[in-house]
Structure 1
Amino acid sequence: MSGVVVVGVDGAPSSLAAVAEAAREARWRGAGLRVVHAFLWPAMHVPMGPSPLGPKEGGLRNMVQRLIAEAVERARTVAPDVDVTHAVVTGEPLTVLTAESRAAELVVVGSRGMGGFVGLLIGSTAVHLAAHGRCPVLVVREEPHADGPVVLGVDGSVAGEKAVDFAFAEAARREVPLVALHAWTTWNAPMQEPQDASVPYANPPGVLAEEERRLLSEALAGRQERYPGVVVEQKTVRGGAREALIEASRSAQLVVVGARGRGGLTGLLLGSVSQALLHHAQCPVAVVRGTGERA
């Protein structure tokens, strides 16, 4: 066994879906699974035991033990050959899971926790963890499509290279095709030198599209040799990256993106495309931080 996959649980339906996905990830990786619950109440000096007037099985501590037992049972049902451990850690969820991410291969969370506000599509813990985690973060809203491809959002940035590596490895583990999708517009495409010097910025039709196809091929270079069993479809789309990736998520079992792309503003820890996918994708989303991005 090498490494560990960490899954955060709080009893919400999406956290149980996260447990199932985390168990599958641990099995594919030959890793252990660590089920973690961030228990905030002890730090607030709230009584943990049952009320003197209530049943013996009541109280916050018993509730947490039942929650953990349910999550562990779910994991063992999905992946009975995976070594499953569990921990109840005092602290608030983002702090606890960020600390757990330092030693994990992957952290998996549900899209919304028990504390989520009605109407929100995704909880603040998932968004903040994707921005601050020290390893890739997988956010699960519901059970993924069993037969869909892995979809990779490619922008050609240096920060996105780790996302490319992660997506190829995921496609290989799952034994499914990889759709590498690059969306571009005339506003985010790199400016090309004009071929007609008499007309500033003028280029024949199709030049920008060809350059964007080349950018996509270069971003994937070398990975096919390392993962010869992965069937890759390279797809360039003229349009917004958010819209294209959300649409692709409808038939995917996983979407992989970097935390920030080439259009990211300095100081932002999570780019607008990543945030949009966390809120609106129709399948689990993995956010992979690039080399040198501060946590």
Structure 2
Amino acid sequence: MSEPTSDDRATDTPRPPRVVVGVDGSPGSRAALVYAWAAAARRGADLEVVATWSVQTVWVGGYPLGVPSISAVREEMESRVQAMVDEVRGDPAVAAVPGAADVRVTTAVSVGPAAQELVDASADADLVVVGNRGRGAVRSVVLGSVALHCVTHARCPVVVVHPSSTGHARRRPVIVGIDGSAASRAALLAGVAEAARLGTDVVAVTTYQMADHWMALSTVVVPTAEEVRWDLQRGGEAMLEDVLEEHRTGSGGRSPDARVVVAEGAPADILGQWAAGAALLVVGSRGHGALRGLLLGSVALACAMHASGAVMVVHPLPDRAPTGTTQRATVNA
């Protein structure tokens, strides 16, 4: 029998869970770091803090002006990241979370686009956390380019942290938007797991809008609002029970309390209203919208842009990179 290769050994060795957070010194990225640290503590996960910078050379009269020293910039960036890590370590929102002091924190500082670095890191991460906007060129946009790129392309769930969602408030529910799609089932499974970690309950919200037919109603059969609500309630409860049973299988038979709510209105508007009183809003990356080929659906995008608090966007499970094989340069913090 042949000896196992190094790749075989790496694949067979379970890796600890891993949370990745992007920081750039902005208030939004600090809020993201607080959230990510608490999330790592509740998962028993390692935390990787990612920061990047770009080298921009200005040419004047045929000569480069202001060529930076890469090593000096890296040292300065590493110092700033470490200072943020040390400051957040003592934040009350972090210190109050059981296990926060035991989180293994590493930093990764590199040259290049932040969005691509975070997407690359998501290949073997359990969660990516970003602020809703940072130090980008267009400071007034509601959702920054890094956050948008991550929620669209990351290969694991992404939490977009708005400034009001620093830390976690207990006993506020986790809200999950469902519509019967595979992506919404993945979101519900993730939402149930988050609620279990937070010690709170789950509210699965599904919505409907009655069509305004531009024709004689005598020629079409239109279900009543009560029939629509009953059908959605029954379908939502069936999905919820199926997801809860899957969660119980891997958690010793335990699951958080959960219920289904059916509401009339536009999905993004309804979910935004529920998010205002939630610990977390969870949505699938795309659902049963008209444009099925989009990487990010309109509801997920609207929630990530406008919902208050923290918003988790969950993609259907992709092919993940083999665990233990991805090499990343990190520094213990």
User: TM-score higher than 0.5 here?
Assistant: yes
What does residue 29 of structure 2 align with? 15
Is 1:100 paired with 2:121? yes
Deviates more, 1:40-49 or 1:278-287: 40-49
Change (3 A) 1:21 1:205: closer
Once the 2 structures are TM-superposed, how far is the Cα of residue 75 of structure 1 from its aligned partner?
4.6
- The answer to whether the 8 Å contact 2:183/2:314 transfers is no
User: Is residue 182 of structure 2 the alignment partner of residue 169 of structure 1?
Assistant: no
> Displacement of 1:146 after TM fit?
1.0
The CA deviation at 1:272 is: 0.7
Structure 2 unaligned residues grouped into runs of 5+: 1-14, 59-65, 95-99, 213-217, 249-253, 320-333
* Aligned positions of 1:178-217 closer than 5 A: 178-187=202-211, 200-203=220-223, 206-217=226-237
Sort the Cα spacing of 1:42 and 1:119 in 2 relative to 1 into closer, same or farther, 3 A.
closer
Secondary structure class of the residue paired with 2:282:
strand
Query: Which residue type is aligned with residue 204 of structure 2?
Result: A
Would the aligned equivalents of 1:102 and 1:134 in 2 still touch at CA under 8 Å?
yes
Q: Which residue of structure 1 lines up, in the alignment, with residue 169 of structure 2? A: 146
Among 138, 155, 158, which residue is 1:137 paired with?
158
Within the alignment, does 1:90 sit opposite 2:120 as a pair?
no
Aligned equivalent of 2:136 = 115
> Is the partner of 1:215 in helix, strand or coil?
helix
Structural RMSD (CA) = 2.6
CA distance in 2, matches of 1:256, 1:68: 29
Taking only the aligned residue pairs, the percentage that are identical comes to 36
Q: Report the CA distance between 1:205 and its aligned residue.
A: 5.5
The 2-side partners of 1:63 and 1:186 are apart by 57
1:95 is matched by which residue type in structure 2? Answer: Q
1:274 aligns with 2:300: yes
Q: Secondary structure at the match of 1:95?
A: helix
Residue 30 (structure 1) aligned to one of 36, 44, 48: 44
CA contact (8 A) 2:155 2:318 kept: no
Structure 1 residue aligned with 2:281:
255
Structure 1: runs of 5 or more not aligned: 51-58, 189-197
Mapping 1:53-92, distance limit 5 Å: 60-77=73-90, 78=94, 79-92=100-113
Normalising to structure 2: TM-score of the pair?
0.77
Aligned length: 277
Contact 2:160–2:312 at 8 Å: present in 1 too? yes
Q: Distance in 1 between matches of 2:269 and 2:33?
A: 28
Quick one: which amino acid aligns to residue 53 of structure 2?
A: F
